[in-house]
């Protein structure tokens, strides 16, 4: 359960930087989600509520890294070949309790435990076998081809931290220490809806002044990819009593309420009225483009976010504002939006005093250098620009002119979306 005070999102009307906005949100929002224990095969995308501490070493014993022969290194002649007698055959998973004595060698297979008395393994391709003897050349180093106990994971080591979102490789690592169940935060339940008599569901017959509701479909599928529990309340008609009734129900069933459009300052919007009458609503004038003021509020003791209506503005404010909020509410304490430097293949002028995000496409030149090209239409209503580009470059507030060939930070859509 998430509880917020009515002044959680209060802020002055003054324009603030994106970094300041995110910092305020992170300080004011707390994760108090309940935890649950789940099976490992249900763990993909879930957020750990406890550190994973290994109660075993991996590997749990010294084992052979190759198919070959195990022997004691001191049995080797320094400057000539050595003949050792084969006295054992050890396979992976076999309990072998005998000790390899002086002058003996054991046939061993990948993953099998190195027997007592042996401390080196030679690959089968690097030696000759004559009946029951192995002929070894000089120069083999001690400890060759042995994976040591605890080489991967030592007993008592923290292998994954609380607050991590579990990936397939994380789950494999947890399985390697033998855990069947783990403790995670419950999934964040996000309720999403849109309002407007002009909106139509895809597939429905539409009149000439209507538009299809695309933002909701985009957002709810992004939410699914980040493993939220999504409840879609569809299109709610422009009726104050109907909107209030629905918002009350959504607040009972969800941890976060999300909508788009009709939330700018001055709009005669029923959602805006209902939220203000039954909670609080604050418009944050964040110095970014695209992206109008984002509406952040609290209704029936649940956080509410109203995003702009233009699809590109929706995507950017989702990535930069909603995603950090969801991470914090979900208990995901360690998220990083990884960026890397690219060189621009275009020049661009912008206004000073706001951060601007450009949609760009990656291309590679003959030397393998990564460059980015700007999308030809920079309008915030051009949904196809999100599909036809690879990510965003971030132009700082104080920059007024971006020179062609400038190195700049690039954020891939695949890093934060699919």
Q: Which of the two residues, 334 and 110, has the higher pLDDT score?
A: 110
Identify the domain boundary among 310, 330, 350.
330
Is residue 161's pLDDT more than 70? yes
Where in the sequence is the domain holding 369, given as residue range(s)?
Answer: 340-416
Amino acid 415: pLDDT: 84
Q: Is 1 within the bounds of a domain?
A: no
Q: Is 159 within the bounds of a domain?
A: no
Q: Is 410 within the bounds of a domain?
A: yes
Q: CB–CB of 215/221 below 8 Å?
A: no
Secondary structure of residue 328 in the 3-state scheme: helix
| Mean pLDDT (the chain, rounded) | 91
Task: Judge if 293 and 363 occupy the same domain.
Answer: no
Per-residue pLDDT of 166-179, as tens digits, reads: 999 999 999 999 99
Amino acid 13: pLDDT: 63
Task: Judge if 282 and 314 occupy the same domain.
Answer: yes
Amino acid 1: pLDDT: 46
Residue 74 burial (CB < 10 Å; 0-12/13-18/19+)? exposed
Task: Judge if 263 and 198 occupy the same domain.
Answer: yes
Amino acid 200: pLDDT: 93
Work out the angle between the directed axes of helices 323-330 and 18-28 (0-180°, nearest 10): 20
Q: What is the pTM of this model?
A: 0.85
Amino acid 191: pLDDT: 98
Task: Judge if 120 and 231 occupy the same domain.
Answer: no
Q: How many CB atoms lie within 10 A of CB 142?
A: 11
Task: Judge if 325 and 344 occupy the same domain.
Answer: no
Task: Judge if 213 and 97 occupy the same domain.
Answer: no
Total domains in the fold of the chain: 3
Secondary structure of residue 58 in the 3-state scheme: strand
Task: Judge if 30 and 68 occupy the same domain.
Answer: no
Whichever domain contains 394, its CATH number is 2.40.340.10
Q: Is 238 within the bounds of a domain?
A: yes
Over range 325-339, report the average pLDDT. 83
Per-residue pLDDT of 228-281, as tens digits, reads: 999 999 999 888 899 999 999 999 999 999 998 766 555 557 888 888 899 988
Identify the domain boundary among 301, 330, 359.
330
Whichever domain contains 215, its CATH number is 3.40.980.10
- Of the candidates 327, 354, 337, 344, which has an alpha carbon nearest to the alpha carbon of residue 413? 337
Task: Judge if 315 and 363 occupy the same domain.
Answer: no
Q: CB–CB of 189/228 below 8 Å?
A: yes
Task: Judge if 310 and 191 occupy the same domain.
Answer: yes
- Mean pLDDT is lowest, of 67-76, 212-221, 259-268, 374-383, for 259-268
Structure letter (DSSP) for residue 99: B
Task: Judge if 29 and 134 occupy the same domain.
Answer: no
Q: Is 50 within the bounds of a domain?
A: no
Task: Judge if 107 and 199 occupy the same domain.
Answer: no
Q: Is 6 within the bounds of a domain?
A: no
Per-residue pLDDT of 116-131, as tens digits, reads: 999 999 999 999 999 9
Amino acid 103: pLDDT: 96
Task: Judge if 378 and 401 occupy the same domain.
Answer: yes
Alpha carbon separation from 77 to 74, 84, 88, 135 (Å, rounded)? 8, 11, 22, 11
Amino acid 400: pLDDT: 95
Over range 410-416, report the average pLDDT. 89
Whichever domain contains 109, its CATH number is 2.170.190.11
Over range 5-18, report the average pLDDT. 67
Over range 25-52, report the average pLDDT. 90
Is residue 221's pLDDT more than 80? yes
Identify the domain boundary among 277, 310, 330.
330
Q: Is 72 within the bounds of a domain?
A: yes
Q: How many percent of the chain have pLDDT more than 90? A: 70
Q: Is 13 within the bounds of a domain?
A: no
């Amino acid at each position: 359960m998430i509880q917020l005070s009515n002044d959680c999102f209060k802020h002055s009307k003054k324009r603030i930087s994106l970094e300041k906005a995110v910092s305020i949100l992170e300080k004011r929002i707390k994760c108090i989600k309940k935890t649950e224990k789940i099976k490992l095969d249900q763990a993909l995308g879930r957020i750990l509520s406890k550190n994973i501490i290994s109660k075993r070493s991996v590997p749990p014993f010294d084992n052979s890294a190759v198919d070959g022969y195990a022997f004691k290194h001191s049995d080797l002649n320094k400057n000539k070949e050595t003949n050792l007698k084969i006295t054992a055959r050890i396979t992976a998973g076999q309990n072998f309790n005998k000790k390899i004595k002086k002058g003996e060698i054991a046939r061993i297979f990948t993953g099998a435990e190195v027997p007592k008395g042996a401390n080196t393994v030679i690959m089968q391709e690097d030696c000759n076998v004559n009946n029951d003897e192995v002929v070894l050349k000089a120069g083999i180093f001690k400890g060759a081809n042995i994976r040591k106990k605890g080489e991967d994971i030592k007993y008592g080591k923290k292998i994954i931290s609380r607050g991590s979102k579990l990936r397939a490789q994380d789950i494999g690592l947890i399985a390697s220490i033998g855990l069947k169940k783990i403790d995670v935060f419950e999934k964040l339940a996000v309720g999403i809806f849109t309002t407007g008599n002009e909106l139509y569901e895809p597939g429905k017959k539409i009149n000439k002044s209507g538009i299809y509701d695309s933002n909701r479909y985009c957002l709810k599928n992004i939410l699914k990819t980040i493993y939220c529990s999504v409840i879609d309340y569809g299109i709610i008609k422009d009726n104050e009593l109907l909107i209030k009734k629905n918002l009350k129900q959504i607040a009972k069933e969800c941890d976060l309420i999300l909508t788009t459009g009709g939330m700018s300052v001055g709009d005669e919007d029923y959602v805006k009225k209902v939220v203000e009458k039954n909670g609080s609503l604050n418009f944050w004038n964040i110095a970014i483009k695209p992206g109008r003021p984002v509406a952040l509020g609290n209704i029936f003791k649940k956080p509410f976010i109203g995003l702009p209506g233009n699809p590109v503005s929706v995507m950017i404010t989702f990535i930069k504002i909603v995603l950090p909020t969801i991470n914090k509410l979900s208990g995901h304490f360690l998220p990083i939006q990884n960026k890397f430097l690219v060189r621009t293949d275009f020049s661009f002028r912008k206004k000073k005093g706001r951060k601007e995000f450009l949609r760009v496409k990656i291309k590679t030149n003959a030397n393998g250098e990564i460059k980015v090209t700007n999308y030809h239409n920079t309008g915030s209503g051009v949904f196809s620009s999100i599909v036809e580009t690879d990510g965003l470059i971030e132009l700082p507030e104080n920059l007024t002119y971006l020179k062609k060939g400038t190195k700049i930070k690039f954020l891939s859509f695949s890093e934060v979306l699919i």
